Amino acid sequence: MGVDSPKSAIDPPVARLVEEFSRVWNGAGEDADLSPLVDDADHAIRESHLDLFLSQSLGELRHPPSTFDGKSALEERVLFGLDRLGQAAFGLSPAQLEILCRRGMPQSLVQFAQMARGQESLSDDEIFQASRNVVVMHVLQLLLGQSCLLTPSVFAYSMLYPYSDNYLDDPKIPAASKRAFNALFGRRLAGENVSPANGHEKRIFSMVATIESEKYRARTPQVFASLLAIQRAQVKSLELQTKRQPSVDDVLTVTIDKGGTSVLADAYLIAENGLTPRQVRFIFGLGIFLQLVDDIQDLKQDLKSGNVTLFCLAAKDPIALESLANRAIAFGKHVMDYLEAFTAQGIEPLKEVIRMSVAQLIIGAAYQSHRYFRREYLSRLEAHFPFRLAHLEKVTATLRKQKLSLKNAGLYG
């Protein structure tokens, strides 16, 4: 891809992608394919494997080794445990586990957490939020035939999530302050030499500078075009909150724009040889799908904060909410049709995992917001999920209590 202006560096253009995926969403239907079924006996077996893995891993992390060799051996034992858990509880093949666990992703996530904990004003929840973007970028690296590398750009762009998104989502910050921040942030992304107004903006601008140090504007205009595209989508999202009764079409447009551009920026930051239009379509569609997953998962927080999403609009009607969740699964499965655009050697097992994850991600998100769904609907979802929701609640509580063990082991930071 040759040198181009930021406005025309994305192919196809964002506006065309938004229109295209709006039609896909509206035509997706609500017949969600949730196969395969998992019966109670199978649930019990899978849950026993999960409990065994957690018991063994957390037990070791309570008394972590202090030497480099000891930590390396512990890391290998944890990876071996993940392999067994992946096969027994998730039904993953050795080839799928090899690409997920043995090509650098777990080690990179540990490295990211350690680096992120060195930053100011970040909670553990915010670090976890940022790490989800690192996972997406590593999956894209693998799809493009690359290794999982935590490059400066991968780290910096992932840190922009807690620094900028959470600032804009904070209901305690006045709308005028958010608008002023967005205007200055947009100018900085466009390459203007602007000064940060406070320490928060200074941290954000330093991440932009990190990206600039690795991605030169003249050589990779699509990188900065995509960063500007997501920032403009954020502006539209903020404007949506000021409308008294935003229409479903307006909310859908912002959802598609915001979700699609966020992962498109991921891809351009790591693409070494550019992207084909069909690859762009998959990446943009994947971003929309992941945005839908987040919007289901964050339903309680969004309602409290006054954020407007498709699921917030339907939150008072469980049947309408469930129909949207089904449509999100159908939409995600359509996006998977574009996976054939990636042809790097050895990635078929990864593509299989991505396809399998569509329904699982929506089911997991619905579990996070279970209070808004009917029990019979959740029971239907549970029959297609590796674990029962009650068991996941118990596991989640255990992990919250054990978070300190990960820090002490030096595997978290």
Residue-level pLDDT at 95:
96
Q: Return the residue matching tokens 């910050």.
A: 173
Residue-level pLDDT at 403:
60
Residues 6+ apart with CB under 8 A from 249: none
Of the chain, the end-to-end C-alpha distance in Å amounts to: 39
AA identity, residue 170: D
Count how many Cα atoms sit within 13 Å of the Cα of residue 287 in the half-sphere of its side chain. Answer: 28
Phi-psi region of 132 (alpha: psi -120 to 50; beta: other; left: phi over 0): alpha
Residue-level pLDDT at 272:
80
Residues 292-303 pLDDT 10s: 999 999 999 999
**What is the gyration radius of the CA atoms in the chain, in angstroms?**
21
Residue-level pLDDT at 249:
96
What are phi and psi for residue 174, nearest 5 degrees?
-60, 150
Residue-level pLDDT at 128:
87
pLDDT < 70 stretches in the chain: 1-8, 120, 402-413
Domains and CATH numbers, the chain: 6-32+92-382 (1.10.600.10)
- Interatomic CA distance for residues 402 and 181, integer angstroms: 37
